[in-house]
Amino acid sequence: MVADCSPEAVPDAVAAFTDRAVRDHCAVETARRLAADAGFETLSDGNGRGLIGALAAVGAWRAHDDWTYEHIAYRERDRWGTEREVDRDSVFTAAEDAYPGVWDTVDRVEGTAVCVPRTPCPILYGIRGDDPDACRAVAAAIEGEPVADSQLFLTNQGTDAHVRDGTVGEATDGRSYRLDATVRESPATRAGGHVFLTVGDGEATIEVAAFEPTKRFRDRVRALRVGDDLTLCGEVSDGTLKLEKFAVRALVRTERVTPDCPDCGRSMESAGADQGYRCRDCSTTAPGKVDRPLDRDIERGWYEVPPVARRHVAKPLVRGGFDAPTHPER
């Protein structure tokens, strides 16, 4: 696609299409028509779906105002498909020196160099961050096989551009949302180590999942209890919200329990339907259950999946701009 105008002069309809393309589903014919209306030249092959991404890229500068950088180093052609030779220690050292301006280069807990692909593609590594010079510096500090070429890109990675505000009742498959909800059913670990819970807003409920590849993030989810108020971000697939991050807004701090006898300390027993509780040994009574403080293993604020499990477009907490305390993963 060739657009004969500056990025700032892209038509409103094309900028609006960019926003839809990132957060919704678009038809090839819509992209083709908008390009024709704007006077853009197009060439497509196959099913033509490349026109959607191409037109969205043309309108991106007007549609969005949060940008990040990625410095990509490419392999020599005769090495494509072979095991990459990248010095792990140099990657971790460079990542530590440049953090937080450069992020998601490594996962320190899992011991993984996230920036190095595991697929047989031509890319040797990709360094993402908010500062282009810092991205270049990290790349320069990495030791390994020869770099055939490199390029710095302006991107929407790490921006949450794909996330839309919504409600539990309107959440639809194939889209990513930011939802406010309350925990309705306690977290449960299922086969494969995946953690599920149910949240709701009014009459509407939705199943939420933290899958095994999110590693330690699952412990954050397991720490939630029925009644906790949350904001959740993730993509809905097959009716399940796949968590990317969540914020704890309010925590349940007490639970209703059978009272203990004030004289002997033993747990009381039911005195009968609607008759409260009594101690069998001391004959002391209590009108009903009492509140007991809970020792919670989680605090207010935002939690996220670790770098090893983060989608490219998902915004890392370290980038800031969140509406509550953050607990970044490194």
User: Each residue's pLDDT tens digit in the chain (330 positions)?
Assistant: 889 999 999 999 999 999 999 999 999 999 999 999 999 999 988 999 999 999 999 999 999 999 999 999 999 999 999 999 999 999 999 999 999 999 999 999 999 999 999 999 999 999 999 999 999 999 999 999 999 999 999 999 999 999 999 999 999 999 999 999 999 999 999 999 999 999 999 999 999 999 999 999 999 999 999 999 999 999 999 999 999 999 999 999 999 899 999 999 999 999 888 889 999 999 899 999 999 999 999 999 999 999 999 999 999 999 999 999 999 999
Domain at 163-252+296-327, CATH class: mainly beta
> Of 244, 221, 242, which is closest to residue 305 (Cα–Cα)?
244
Q: How many residues does the chain have?
A: 330
> Of 133, 125, 150, 149, which is closest to residue 98 (Cα–Cα)?
133
Cα-to-chain-centroid distance, residue 205: 20
In 10 A of CB 279, how many CB atoms? Answer: 21
Domains of the chain, by residue range, sit at 7-63, 68-155, 163-252+296-327, 254-293
Cβ distance 207 to 221 under 8 Å?
A: no
Q: Give the domain 68-155 fold.
A: Glycinamide Ribonucleotide Synthetase; Chain A, domain 4 (3.90.600)
Query: If one looks up domain 7-63 in CATH, what number appears?
Result: 3.30.70.2200
Cβ distance 313 to 158 under 8 Å?
A: yes
Cβ distance 225 to 216 under 8 Å?
A: no
Burial 70-101 (b: 16+ CB within 10 A, else e): bbbbbbeeebeeeebebeeeebbbbbeebbbb
